[in-house]
Amino acid sequence: MAGVIPYLLVIGLALAGVNVVTVLTIGIGINGIIGWCTGAYDFVGWMASIGSGIGSMGELIIVSLLAGGMLEIIRYNGGMDFIIDGLTRRIGGKRAAGFSIAALVSLVNLCTANNTIAIITTGPLAKDITDRFGLDPRKTASILDSFSCLVQGIIPYGAQMLMASGLAGVSAAAITGRLYYPFALGLMAVLSILLRFPRKYS
């Protein structure tokens, strides 16, 4: 039971709007304290677990660094303005701006087959569109997450689909027609932009 406390604490703090670095630091600290008190591990074991976790994120960290460097070079040479102007040339309001962000993250996810990388890559562009059209940053974050998850959940060459098809012993194409959750998520995400729901974030 005690092992669940860090998870609940992290979820509660995140929902309360606490800074993500603070939330994760507190979660790691509480986890260490509980582990020492219950005898699950000592200080060395705790540090080894942290190191193992960081190591497993190594590829993502490298991709994030490379994506950040690439995007800054593109921005410096005027590429960001070119992309945003092309995306927003015919945009007349917040709904269209939201759909442009949705299209952008969906396209990148189709190309990379990784929703985390898609969000990292398109985040700076989405922020510029958000600032330009006065969108709520929370709404933009929701659009990025929802549409990247939608695409990631339905592409037959994504890690999730390949794993599921391998475990079930069927082709990825055979699963597509039964993917109720991703399509329901996509429908709700589209409706949230069209109906500007919730109003206070739209």
pLDDT tens for each residue of 180-194 = 999 999 999 999 999
Alpha carbon distance 120, 101 (integer Å): 13
Residue type for 79, please?
Answer: G
What contacts 24+ positions apart, CB below 8 Å, involve 61-67? 63/117, 63/120, 64/120, 67/117, 67/120, 67/121
Measure the N-to-C terminal CA separation of the chain; round to a whole number of Å.
40
- 0.75 cut: is pTM over it? no
Residue 106, pLDDT above cutoff 90: yes
Alpha carbon distance 147, 185 (integer Å): 8
Query: What does the pLDDT average to over 194-201?
Result: 84
* Pure H helices in 16-93: 20-38, 43-56, 58-76, 79-88
pLDDT recorded at residue 1: 65
In order of 34, 69, 72, 82, the CA distances from 76 in angstroms are 47, 11, 6, 11
Exposed, middle or buried, 59 (CB in 10 Å: 0-12/13-18/19+)?
Answer: exposed
What's the mean pLDDT when you consider all of the chain? Answer: 86
CB burial of 76-104 (b: ≥16 within 10 Å; e: otherwise) equals eeeebeebbeebbeebeebeebbbbbbeb
pLDDT tens column, 120-168: 888 988 998 999 899 999 999 999 999 999 999 999 988 888 888 888 8
Nearest CA to 125 out of 81, 64, 91, 77 is that of 81
Alpha carbon distance 21, 202 (integer Å): 27
**DSSP SS3 for 129:** helix
pLDDT tens column, 62-87: 877 777 787 778 778 887 778 777 77
DSSP assignment letter at 114? -
